[in-house]
Amino acid sequence: MIQYIADEKIDEYIKKLGMASVNEIRSAFEISESTVRRTLARLERTGHIRRYKGGAIALNHKPTEFEQRLHCCATEKDAIARKATECIKDDSSIILLGGTTISAMCPYLCNKNLTVITNSLAVVDALKNASGVKLVMLGGIYHQEEYELVGDVTAMGLQVIYADILFTGCTGFSPEIGFMTNEINSISFYNLCMKNADKTYVLADSSKAQKSSMAIFAPSDRVDSIITDSGLSKETRAAFVDLGIDVIIAE
């Protein structure tokens, strides 16, 4: 592809989405990460986009709260997401809840044969053209800040569904308290998801360790595995292991 055409197409892609990660662009255009980064550098120099760590944003786009969180710990989230996909076998059924770390898994799922159950519009957007992925979308009320569907209707759709693995994020976690969220109205939904999955994996970067949030959606012993980054302290890791939780470190 002639280079200026490639730059133009990637610029249009970013403007259409408002913002895009390096991995999203790499997957959409089937090009290398280094090619994406060089293209973004050229587009930034020519005043088309503004780069952030792990992606780029259109200059005229005002990011939502969800999009702003994509910038935070982007490298760690990508490593965690990549490690999480290694735990998934082909032909599995998985539940992907909302959150920026969960949505970061999507570029690594496009070439798998899976059933993906989700309430996240970010997940649907990323996987809607993946030929091997069967998408099951849970209905509900649109939560603009979280870019997902929530409420009683969402829970009703899950009552007749069972999955091999649940992948969820959290806003804070500790061995003593468990896993926390700021969405207090979603606690019963979290519990239903855990009940209707063989295993529960929590994906959380180490900045959330020992961080308190509004509500506990799961005590530590309800979770099978935590996937986090190497910033997690040895003491916290050991405390979770003592509770029988598998702690997977994404380097």
Q: How many C-beta atoms surround the C-beta of residue 199 within 10 A?
A: 16
pLDDT in tens, 188-202: 999 999 999 999 999
Tell me, what DSSP letter sits at residue 214? S
pLDDT in tens, 146-198: 778 898 888 888 888 999 999 999 999 999 999 999 888 889 999 999 999 99
Fold matches, 3-62 and 74-250:
no
The domain segmentation of the chain, as residue ranges, is: 3-62, 74-250
CATH 1.10.10.10 applies to domain 3-62: yes
As a CATH number, domain 74-250 is 3.40.50.1360
170 touches 202 (CB < 8 A): yes
For 83, residues 6+ apart whose C-beta sits below 8 A from its C-beta are: 227, 248, 250
